[in-house]
């Protein structure tokens, strides 16, 4: 897949030696000055990411943050029929973020959002107005890495989870954020075409280990032209990863993302993974999640030790319009000084809060009712994207 400047997609055929062809094509830097794409070049030499002497690091979510992005729902998104129901959820998430750090709001009309937010500290809000398709910032937001200690923002292709939904506008959001001087001046925004990648599909421990799922990264209309071995090569290349832990099992009914890792299993620190556990043998997820659990038990840390595993209960079944929705307690967000956890108005909510409080003893664990988000098949982590310290103005 590739993308035009208007955010639409078209197919490309890669050379047989995709391992080197894709690496050369992908690494192009978006210039804020002239709105064109140019190959990264130092002293006349093309740079292939990952072959530079400076180490690349994908920071863990608990790394200090400069801001969190929310892309606000409006009347032209799929939220239109239930806009009044979902807006309070976005407002509550926004207020919890504002208490602790800057909130970047991508929206259609900032005056409408101001009215919806009510009395808040606007000195901690950055508004950026633009037309959007939807609200899933985790997947259309920029992914930040550090190279030689300097932050860079990757702008991967977002094509609506394998072209399931329109994403022509959302695919341009990071570009528009760059053009509107949202990022610190020296932060490069790197166009990663034609590689398709969503933020919800990868987890990093910040120390060279990635956690992801085969189901998502190898799915149709993403990067299926690459075998797993070459996908792994590119992920290590992009993110400076030394190891990739591939999960082969696990899914949630109603999940449009083809099993994003952030719905199933999450790093809490470099030694700890929280994951969805299903103990009801009558539940359709039982076999798959038991197999996923066995994979997690078999995984080892970089030092060869078993991970500390924290099971999170399978959320109570949520059905809307005859369809089971992908309720997951693993879809929490780590921010400065807190962890925001999706609640579903269930007796299990408080169990999860106490469980995650043990995982994050130095953070406040805050529950937010995310039942409305499920009606568009996502949850709390899905609608947010964090930017590490030194990235957002």
Measure the CA–CA gap between 303 and 261, rounded to whole angstroms.
23
Q: Concatenated DSSP letters for 103-154?
A: EEEEES-HHHHHHHH-S--GGGEEEEE---S---HHHHS-EEEEETTEEEEE
pLDDT (0 to 100) of residue 20: 32
> Helix (H, G, I), strand (E, B), or coil: what is residue 246?
strand
What would you report as the CA-atom Rg of the chain, rounded to the nearest whole angstrom?
20
Task: Taking the CA atoms of 122, 128, 129 and 135 in sequence, report the sign of the dihedral they define.
Answer: negative
Measure the CA–CA gap between 189 and 106, rounded to whole angstroms.
17
Q: Which run of H or of E encompasses 19?
A: helix 18-26
pLDDT (0 to 100) of residue 107: 98
User: Tokens representing 266?
Assistant: 């999450």
**Domain boundaries defined on the chain:** 2-14+54-388
pLDDT (0 to 100) of residue 51: 32
pLDDT (0 to 100) of residue 8: 42
Pick from 8, 391, 393, 381: which is nearest to 170 by CA? 8
Single pTM value for the model:
0.88
Measure the CA–CA gap between 68 and 1, rounded to whole angstroms.
28
- Contact partners, residue 124, CB within 8 Å, separation at least 6: 98, 101, 102, 103
pLDDT (0 to 100) of residue 54: 61
Pick from 334, 313, 318: which is nearest to 378 by CA? 318
- Contact partners, residue 143, CB within 8 Å, separation at least 6: 58, 153, 154, 156, 197, 199
pLDDT along the chain (393 residues), means of 10: 41 32 37 33 32 75 98 97 98 98 98 97 97 98 96 97 96 98 97 97 98 94 91 96 97 96 98 98 98 98 97 97 97 98 98 98 98 98 98 95
Please check whether residue 128 is in contact with residue 105, taking contact to mean a CB–CB distance below 8 angstroms.
yes
Any idea which residue has 């072209």 for tokens? 163
* CATH classification number, 2-14+54-388, choose in 1.10.10.10, 3.60.21.10, 1.10.10.60, 3.75.10.10: 3.75.10.10
- Contact partners, residue 372, CB within 8 Å, separation at least 6: 82, 85, 86, 88, 89
């Amino acid at each position: 897949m590739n993308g035009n400047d208007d955010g639409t997609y078209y197919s490309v055929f890669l050379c047989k030696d995709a391992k080197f062809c894709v690496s050369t094509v992908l690494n192009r830097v978006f210039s804020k000055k002239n709105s064109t794409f140019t190959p990264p070049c130092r002293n006349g030499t093309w740079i292939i990411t990952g072959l530079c002497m400076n180490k690349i690091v994908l920071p863990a979510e608990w790394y200090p943050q400069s801001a969190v992005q929310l892309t606000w729902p409006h009347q032209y998104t799929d939220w239109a029929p239930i806009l009044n129901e979902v807006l309070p959820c976005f407002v509550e998430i926004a207020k919890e973020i504002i208490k602790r750090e800057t909130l970047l709001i991508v929206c259609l009309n900032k005056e409408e959002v101001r009215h919806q937010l009510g009395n808040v500290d606007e000195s901690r809000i950055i508004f950026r107005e633009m037309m959007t398709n939807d609200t899933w910032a985790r997947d259309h937001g920029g992914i930040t890495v550090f190279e030689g200690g300097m932050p860079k923002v990757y702008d991967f292709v977002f094509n609506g989870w394998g072209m399931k939904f329109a994403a022509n506008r959302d695919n341009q959001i990071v570009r528009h954020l760059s053009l509107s001087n949202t990022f610190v001046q020296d932060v490069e925004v790197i166009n990663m075409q034609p590689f398709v990648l969503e933020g919800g599909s990868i987890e990093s421990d910040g120390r060279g280990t990635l956690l992801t799922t085969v189901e998502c990264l190898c799915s149709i209309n993403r990067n299926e032209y690459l075998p797993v071995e070459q996908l792994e090569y590119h992920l290590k290349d992009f993110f400076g990863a030394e190891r990739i832990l591939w999960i082969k099992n696990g899914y949630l009914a109603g999940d449009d993302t083809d099993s994003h890792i952030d719905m199933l299993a999450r790093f809490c620190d470099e030694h700890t993974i929280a994951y969805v556990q299903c103990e009801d043998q009558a539940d359709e997820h039982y076999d798959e999640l038991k197999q996923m659990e066995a994979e997690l038990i078999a995984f080892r840390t970089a030092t060869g030790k078993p991970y500390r595993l924290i099971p999170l209960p399978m959320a109570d079944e949520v059905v809307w319009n005859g369809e089971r929705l992908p309720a997951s307690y693993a879809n929490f967000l780590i921010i400065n000084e807190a962890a925001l956890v999706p609640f579903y108005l269930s007796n299990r909510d408080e169990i999860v809060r106490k469980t995650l409080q043990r995982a994050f003893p130095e953070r406040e664990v805050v529950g937010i009712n995310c039942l409305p988000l499920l009606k568009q098949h996502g949850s709390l982590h899905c609608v947010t994207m964090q930017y590490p310290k030194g990235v957002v103005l």
